């Protein structure tokens, strides 16, 4: 049997698990049983081929617009098409005590695991990051994939090598689930409308990387129109690569969309959660907190009854601007 090559594996990346090319390849080398689909609860499926110390990682929700939206394989949307999103060339790290098991002929793209760092740098350039215990190199493979090599030093002085290739993914700030009108979970109406307030604020402050002509048209403070805008121009999600290059903006958005406490310069916990910002705009934060303590079952109903009108969008926008300035000042102090 011919020696399996690294370049052959790389050519499989991005294929669905039912693509004839990947099916035939796995059968040819007896690499394992491919997943037919992936459920939302599973998120990821992995195949480990121990003889060559390789693992294959399949996902259905890849944060790359070439793979969005996830494709359902059934009417109930419970199962999705599985794509090969990454390959670990060293499932278990290579080291002098536990050398990688692949033959040298396999490595027809990257240098051998034991190759000197100078050889790696000639191919991949300077490290993308480096500290006392880690050093990593990365290079693009085509337009959508990135190959990474990482060296790690243990506390006992042992050196470890790992390498992998993965589809280039973006950092997600707001999931498409929150903009999907078909989702009718108990708390989704409020969450969907609340996220439209964030989109409206980003639009009004020209913080989105969209065609400039869209800004000239404007965006009405209307939830349905904003949801249409997100679908047509943001592919029904908000990712970091869709934001203007403004310092701390993405970090700020990560914080307001998660229910986490921040610490002010005096060490006091402060909420930047967008739900609390909306409630503050309505002067209903205290009432909501009392309700949460006394009758938690009606909390979702309380939130879903909030009317997102022009006045509320305006008030929330003002508070978001204030919060961003405050967040920036704290980051600068830190």
pLDDT tens readout for residues 26-66: 999 999 999 999 998 888 999 999 999 999 999 999 999 99
Averaged pLDDT, 220-249: 96
CA distance readout (Å), 121 to 14, 104, 108, 116, 139: 27, 19, 16, 9, 10
Whether residue 181 has pLDDT greater than 90: no
8 A C-beta contact, residue 64 and residue 170: yes
H-helix or E-strand spanning residue 87: strand 83-88
Q: Cα(163)–Cα(122) distance, rounded to whole angstroms? A: 16
Distances (CA, A) of 97 to 53, 54, 120: 15, 18, 21
Extract the tokens encoding 99: 């050398």
The pTM for the full model equals: 0.87
**Percent over 90 (pLDDT), the chain:** 78
Is the bond preceding 11 in cis, omega lying within 30 degrees of 0?
no
* Average pLDDT taken over every residue of the chain: 92
The CA distance from 300 to 242, in Å, is 30
Burial of 51 from C-beta contacts in 10 A (0-12 / 13-18 / 19+): exposed
Q: Per-residue pLDDT for 187 more than 90?
A: no
Q: 91, 48 in Cβ contact below 8 A?
A: yes
In this predicted structure, what is the pLDDT of residue 213?
Answer: 95
274 has a pLDDT exceeding 70: yes
Task: Please name the helix (run of DSSP H) or strand (run of DSSP E) that holds residue 139, with its range, or none.
Answer: strand 134-141
Look at residues 221, 238, 214, 226 and name the one whose alpha carbon lies nearest to residue 181.
Answer: 226
- What pLDDT score does 185 carry? 67
Rounded CA separation 135/152 (Å): 7
Mean pLDDT, range 9-18, rounded to an integer? 97
Q: What are phi and psi of 189, to 5 degrees?
A: -55, -45
Backbone torsions φ then ψ of 184, nearest 5 degrees: -125, 40
Best CA proximity match to 272, nearest among 281, 289, 259: 259
């Amino acid at each position: 049997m011919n020696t399996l090559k690294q370049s052959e594996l790389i050519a499989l990346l991005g294929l669905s698990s039912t693509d004839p090319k990947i099916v035939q390849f796995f059968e040819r080398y007896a690499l394992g049983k491919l997943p037919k689909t992936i459920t939302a609860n599973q998120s990821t499926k992995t195949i480990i081929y121990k003889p060559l110390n390789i693992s294959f990682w399949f996902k259905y929700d890849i944060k790359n617009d070439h793979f969005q939206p996830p494709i359902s394989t059934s009417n109930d949307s419970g199962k999705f098409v599985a794509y090969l999103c990454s390959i670990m060339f060293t499932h278990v790290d290579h080291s002098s005590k536990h050398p990688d098991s692949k033959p040298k002929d396999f490595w027809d793209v990257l240098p051998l695991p034991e190759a000197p760092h100078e050889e790696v740098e000639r191919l991949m350039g300077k490290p993308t990051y480096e500290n006392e215990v880690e050093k990593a190199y990365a290079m693009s493979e085509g337009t959508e994939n990135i190959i990474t090599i990482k060296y790690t030093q243990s506390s006992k002085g042992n050196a470890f090598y790992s390498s992998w290739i993965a589809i280039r993914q973006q950092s997600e700030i707001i999931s498409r689930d929150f903009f999907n009108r078909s989702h009718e979970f108990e708390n989704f109406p409020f969450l969907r409308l609340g996220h439209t307030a964030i989109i409206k604020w980003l639009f009004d402050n020209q913080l989105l990387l969209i065609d400039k002509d869209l800004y000239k048209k404007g965006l009405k403070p209307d939830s349905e129109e904003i949801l249409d805008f997100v679908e047509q121009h943001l592919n029904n999600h908000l990712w970091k690569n869709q934001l203007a290059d403004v310092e701390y903006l993405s970090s700020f958005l990560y914080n307001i969309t998660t229910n986490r406490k921040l610490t002010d310069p005096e060490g006091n916990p402060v909420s930047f959660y967008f739900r609390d910002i909306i409630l503050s705009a309505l002067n209903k934060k205290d009432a909501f907190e009392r309700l949460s303590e006394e009758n938690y079952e009606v909390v979702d109903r309380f939130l879903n009854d909030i009317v997102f009108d022009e006045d509320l969008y305006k008030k929330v926008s003002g508070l978001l601007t204030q919060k961003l300035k405050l967040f920036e000042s704290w980051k600068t102090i830190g």
